[in-house]
């Protein structure tokens, strides 16, 4: 008979939610996990960088023949208009089987579920191998001192994961319906067209930056990047802002700024898209005799973990617990899996994500228990 009390993932989620860990603040969230994992025999270390706290934990001997990893984050986005919340955003209050609070969905419940599953697993059936848990406080922010710092720590200290599961919310509507095996790349490009200010009644004396900017935005937005690939939807480009800061109707402004966001599949790379954009900029610059400055930020390249043993094992555990056969998908935004993929094969599976980043973010309590059961099943199957 078991001699330990299983970790309640709902209680653990509530404790984490009550820490107002809006990036880059931690407010004690990682300390809670450090204590839990240390007490269960995990070797824990801090991989802090740039004012961000990051927790690395390993159960089992370093260099074991098999190492299963979990990755997640405890930082959350701001609450927005707190007056619009019907429940305290950091109260973790439960009503009618639903827990409310910032981070309940994205992704403190996921972290709580895999931490609880891992602790119970090593206490009940110590595996022949190791379990790594890597948790960051910088996923919702710039993401430069979070999982990247954890991976750097692992590289410098001889630590590794053979495979990794990221506990992000992956299911659009129904628990168990989707596993992410890859993600589209993401990049943002900012533009500044510099013309010459003048009176709108004498346009020939000015050089209006708006027509070249509008033409450039039209050329970019109307261009079909691709039609999709075997595992990815069609790439998209969205114009997200155009601005002159000009309140006067009788003044031609001196400059205009704009930005586009591109979500791209494996047809492209950040470099190839940057080269295409530069070609378009050169054409507009020459046609309108204006100066155009660009600033490119590539948040992540597209990647895929091809369907195989890892995705099949996770899908089997999900179906065994939920009765739902999950779709293998690459939809959605970016996640820290884009960094982990350079270290080892990685997939993502977690909760229904409908309320993430919203006012009154919430999670069903039974889904937290269900998620822990799925993660426990994955560990059993991996180390079987």
- pLDDT at position 180: 97
Is residue 43, in this structure, part of any structural domain at all? yes
Let me know whether 165 and 72 are in one domain: yes
CA distances from 130 to 151, 254, 326, 350 (A): 17, 61, 27, 22
Band of the pLDDT at 1, cuts 50, 70, 90?
very low
Let me know whether 339 and 270 are in one domain: no
Residue range 79-131, pLDDT digits in tens: 999 999 999 999 999 999 999 999 999 999 999 999 999 999 999 999 999 99
| Mean predicted confidence (pLDDT) in 163-179 | 97
Let me know whether 14 and 160 are in one domain: yes
CATH number where 327 lies: 3.40.630.10
Q: Which residues contact 73 (CB under 8 A, 6 or more apart)?
A: 107, 111, 135, 136, 137, 138, 139, 140, 146, 147, 336
Question: Alpha-carbon distance 85 to 30, whole Å?
Answer: 25
Let me know whether 249 and 295 are in one domain: yes
Average per-residue pLDDT for the chain? 96
Residue range 266-322, pLDDT digits in tens: 999 999 999 999 999 999 999 999 999 999 999 999 999 999 999 999 999 999 999
| pLDDT at position 50 over 70 | yes
Band of the pLDDT at 333, cuts 50, 70, 90?
confident
Question: Alpha-carbon distance 302 to 30, whole Å?
Answer: 30
Let me know whether 159 and 266 are in one domain: no
| Mean predicted confidence (pLDDT) in 136-142 | 95
Domain final residue, candidates 270, 300, 330: 300
| pLDDT at position 64 over 80 | no
Question: Alpha-carbon distance 147 to 72, whole Å?
Answer: 9
Domain final residue, candidates 275, 300, 325: 300
Backbone angles phi, psi at 59, to 5 degrees: -105, 135
Domain range for 202: 185-300
Is residue 195, in this structure, part of any structural domain at all? yes
Let me know whether 129 and 34 are in one domain: yes
Q: How many residues are there in the chain?
A: 384
The domain tally of the chain equals 2
| pLDDT at position 347 over 70 | yes
- Answer whether 114's CB lies under 8 Å from 168's CB: no
- CA terminus-to-terminus distance, the chain: 20
What is the strand order of the sheet 67-73 is part of? 43-46, 54-59, 130-136, 67-73, 163-166, 346-348, 178-180, 327-329
Question: Alpha-carbon distance 16 to 22, whole Å?
Answer: 12
Let me know whether 208 and 237 are in one domain: yes
Question: Alpha-carbon distance 135 to 70, whole Å?
Answer: 8
- Answer whether 173's CB lies under 8 Å from 111's CB: no
> Which pair of structure tokens corresponds to residue 2?
């078991």
Domain final residue, candidates 245, 278, 300: 300
Is residue 14, in this structure, part of any structural domain at all? yes
Is residue 98, in this structure, part of any structural domain at all? yes
Q: Which residues contact 218 (CB under 8 A, 6 or more apart)?
A: none
Is residue 55, in this structure, part of any structural domain at all? yes
Give the angle 359-363-368 at the CA atoms, nearest 5°.
155
Do β-strands 163-166 and 67-73 pair in parallel, antiparallel, or remain unpaired? parallel
Positions annotated as catalytic residues are 75, 139
Band of the pLDDT at 2, cuts 50, 70, 90?
low
Let me know whether 31 and 177 are in one domain: yes
What DSSP state is assigned to residue 326? P
Q: If we measure between CA atoms, which residue out of 302, 306, 356 comes closest to residue 167?
A: 356
Let me know whether 64 and 14 are in one domain: yes
* Model confidence pTM above 0.85: yes
Let me know whether 26 and 126 are in one domain: yes
Residue range 226-239, pLDDT digits in tens: 999 999 999 999 99
Is residue 1, in this structure, part of any structural domain at all? no
CATH number where 222 lies: 3.30.70.360
Let me know whether 179 and 193 are in one domain: no
- Answer whether 32's CB lies under 8 Å from 15's CB: yes
> Which pair of structure tokens corresponds to residue 139?
């996923």
- Answer whether 158's CB lies under 8 Å from 53's CB: no
Question: Alpha-carbon distance 162 to 272, whole Å?
Answer: 31
Let me know whether 225 and 353 are in one domain: no
CA 8 to chain centroid: 25
Is residue 4, in this structure, part of any structural domain at all? no
Is residue 168, in this structure, part of any structural domain at all? yes
At 135, is the secondary structure helix, strand, or coil? strand
| pLDDT at position 178 over 90 | yes
């Amino acid at each position: 008979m078991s001699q330990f009390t299983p970790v309640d993932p709902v209680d653990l989620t509530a404790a984490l939610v009550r820490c107002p860990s809006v990036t880059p603040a931690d407010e004690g969230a990682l300390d809670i996990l450090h204590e839990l994992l240390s007490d269960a025999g995990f070797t824990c270390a801090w991989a802090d960088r740039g004012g961000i706290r990051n927790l690395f934990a390993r159960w089992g001997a370093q260099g074991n023949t098999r190492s299963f990893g979990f990755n997640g984050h405890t930082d959350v986005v701001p609450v927005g208009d707190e007056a619009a919340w019907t429940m305290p955003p950091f109260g973790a209050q439960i009503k009618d089987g639903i827990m409310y609070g910032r981070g309940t969905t994205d992704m403190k419940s996921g972290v709580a579920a895999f931490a609880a599953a891992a602790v119970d697993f090593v206490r009940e059936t110590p595996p022949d191998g190791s379990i790594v848990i890597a948790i960051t406080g910088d996923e919702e922010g710039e993401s430069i001192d979070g999982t990247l710092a954890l991976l750097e720590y692992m590289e410098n200290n001889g630590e590794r994961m053979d495979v990794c599961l990221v506990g992000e919310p992956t299911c659009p509507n129904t628990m168990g319906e989707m596993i992410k095996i890859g993600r589209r790349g993401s990049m943002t490009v900012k533009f500044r067209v510099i013309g010459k200010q003048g009176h709108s009644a004498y346009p020939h004396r000015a050089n209006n930056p708006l027509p070249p900017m509008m033409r450039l935005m039209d050329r970019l937005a109307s261009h079909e990047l691709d039609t999709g690939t075997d595992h990815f939807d069609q790439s998209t480009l969205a114009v997200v802002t155009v601005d002159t800061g000009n309140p006067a109707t009788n003044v031609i402004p001196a400059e205009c700024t704009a930005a586009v966001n591109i979500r791209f599949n494996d047809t492209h790379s950040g470099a190839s898209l940057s080269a295409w954009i530069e070609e378009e900029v050169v054409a507009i610059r020459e046609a309108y005799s204006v100066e155009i400055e660009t600033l490119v930020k590539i948040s992540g390249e597209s990647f895929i973990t091809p369907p195989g043993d890892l995705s099949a094992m996770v899908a089997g555990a999900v179906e065994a617990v939920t009765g739902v056969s999950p779709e293998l998908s690459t939809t959605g935004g970016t996640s820290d899996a884009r960094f982990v993929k350079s270290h080892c094969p990685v997939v993502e599976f977690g909760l229904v994500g409908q309320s993430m980043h919203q006012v009154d973010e919430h999670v069903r309590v039974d889904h937290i228990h269900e998620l822990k059961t799925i993660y426990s099943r994955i560990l059993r199957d991996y180390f079987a």
